[in-house]
Structure 1
């Protein structure tokens, strides 16, 4: 809502004459405004015609009178219609901003125009319904993805890994039973290849969905992942956690794990960093995650615009934002070339988020 609209609304609410007039339906406001203009024109015209009837300059004066009367009528009509349609124009501006992508915009209520307020309330309720439908759809998609990741990870761990382990055992037995050195060397090479494949499958299983996240919770899963991450990329990671007396909800643990995992993945792929700090904190209202690296940083706006080289990172950043917003949280990224990157996520605890929504519903009602 603009400053001019705010001042106009305050002026109307404080004016005892304008408030009852502008509280009428739009049809009657326009009807009254035009009736007043016609009445003023007819009255003034009759009086002026009687005055000019005996004047020798009557034709010229009549032309001037008609022109002036027309201009005055247009000006008065413009002013009165501006007053009458100001709430609708404000609503149109909000609609344009929503169409441009500002989904958090809401139509203002005038407090004196029942028709405009009803339109604004309907528009706001429609936006809330669309946002809620999109939120539910995105949540269902995220949950389906996590379930599929879990299924594939379990299958890789339970089936494929066991087959490769059996193959390694068979190769070891075969190596012991063969006396030819050349054959033993070839079997040893095959065992090495099988070991690498087994390790790659286990890493893939962990990346898809670590079993520790479901069985033990967020903190053990993160500690295990960070340990493997440091061994793989030789990047020092300092991890600190504060609070967390009890396990969080499955949705929140998954979101925090994925946000931290994606942040570390971006560090390894793009940042050229040597050190990463991860801080997790839970208080009575929310859980806070901060991931900071000493890498080369990047231009956030530029990365989001890049269609090719920055596309993978752009989708990763979008995924982190989506996970945070689905839980009514916020995620911010601070980065600039040469100064490293800091990712901050704030996810409200479910009870707090539910109570906030209830309060907002009561206020809107």
Structure 2
């Protein structure tokens, strides 16, 4: 049954109290009444007035308590993650309407934000894939052709000094090709497409250990073959960003990546023993917001635990 509006209830209670006061005053003013004297009349009216004030205070407190609860919920709502499930709406009709409208607005905002973020990140992934393909198929092929021609010229030259110079140039071109392929793989990890998430993360950690000269470990528990492609891609990108932060910003000596899966659930943990950070602008520079946006795309949640001098731990649950 729908409860009446606040105005209706206040008016009804006051009308009843006024009616009771009028009846009491009529009884007191009756010549045959035992409450004819002014003291009795004053007591009756004072009691009626006190009762009116007390009932109004109680009624307003009861009716405004849900509104205060709603105001507190609005003040502390967390817009960085998916909206919490709405509680059962209780209270005056006006408050129930406001609460339902507020939660509907949060759901619309979340849907619009997720759609915009999804479109932006998908466009980013397509651009990464295009650049990686161009680097591999065009630039790398051009460098390969250049290297072959250079090698042919080196074999034909009779000048030892020139041949040595050409060999050094060829070595530089080979190094550039290797770095180019690493860049292309970083833009779009072919291992992820070909072998899956577990192999891609293992390759990522192995590369970090080899190139950054730090001790890095990778552990995986569970089956990840049936995970949706978007979940695998988001998980890889979050791990890639967290590992990059550990190498470039944290000054870490040890890195650990752990992947745990079971059924439709997945948990990724990336921890390091670096310098840590204290939130604020540091979090913006480290791309934490971008990682959270990616996590939201697959219905997941990202938590970051870090303190200055105590390292950082990034956890993705999806």
TM tier relative to shorter chain: 0.7 to 0.9
Residues 241-285 of structure 1 show CA distances to partners (whole Å, capped at 9, x for unaligned) of: 222262421101101111111111111112222222222121124
Alignment of 1:121-200 (within 5 A): 121-200=100-179
Alignment of 1:312-351 (within 5 A): 312-313=285-286, 316-347=287-318
Matched, 1:28 2:8: yes
Provide the rounded CA distance (Å) in 2 between the counterparts of 1:266 and 1:330. Answer: 19
Q: TM-score, normalised by structure 1?
A: 0.73
Q: TM-score, normalised by structure 2?
A: 0.82
Q: What is the match of residue 250 of structure 1?
A: 229
Q: What is the match of residue 72 of structure 2?
A: 93
Q: Does the 8 Å CA contact 2:302/2:317 hold for their aligned counterparts? A: yes
Higher RCO, Cα 8 Å, sep 6+: 2
Q: What is the match of residue 280 of structure 2?
A: 304
Provide the rounded CA distance (Å) in 1 between the counterparts of 2:103 and 2:26. Answer: 50
Q: CA deviation at 1:24?
A: 2.5
Q: What is the match of residue 357 of structure 1?
A: none
Q: CA deviation at 1:91?
A: 2.4
Where does the alignment leave 5 or more consecutive residues of structure 2 unmatched? none
Q: CA deviation at 1:322?
A: 2.0
Provide the rounded CA distance (Å) in 1 between the counterparts of 2:246 and 2:45. Answer: 76
Residues 334-359 of structure 1 show CA distances to partners (whole Å, capped at 9, x for unaligned) of: 33333332222221xxxxxxxxxxxx
Matched, 1:84 2:63: yes
Q: Does the 8 Å CA contact 2:114/2:297 hold for their aligned counterparts? A: yes
- Aligned to 1:261, the other structure's residue is in SS state helix
Q: CA deviation at 1:158?
A: 0.9
Q: What is the match of residue 230 of structure 1?
A: 209
Where does the alignment leave 5 or more consecutive residues of structure 1 unmatched? 1-19, 348-365
Q: Which has the higher helix share?
A: 1
Residues 291-314 of structure 1 show CA distances to partners (whole Å, capped at 9, x for unaligned) of: 222x23413xx23334xxx6421x
CA RMSD of aligned residues (A): 3.4
Provide the rounded CA distance (Å) in 2 between the counterparts of 1:106 and 1:38. Answer: 44
Q: What is the match of residue 241 of structure 1?
A: 220
Count of aligned pairs between the two proteins: 314
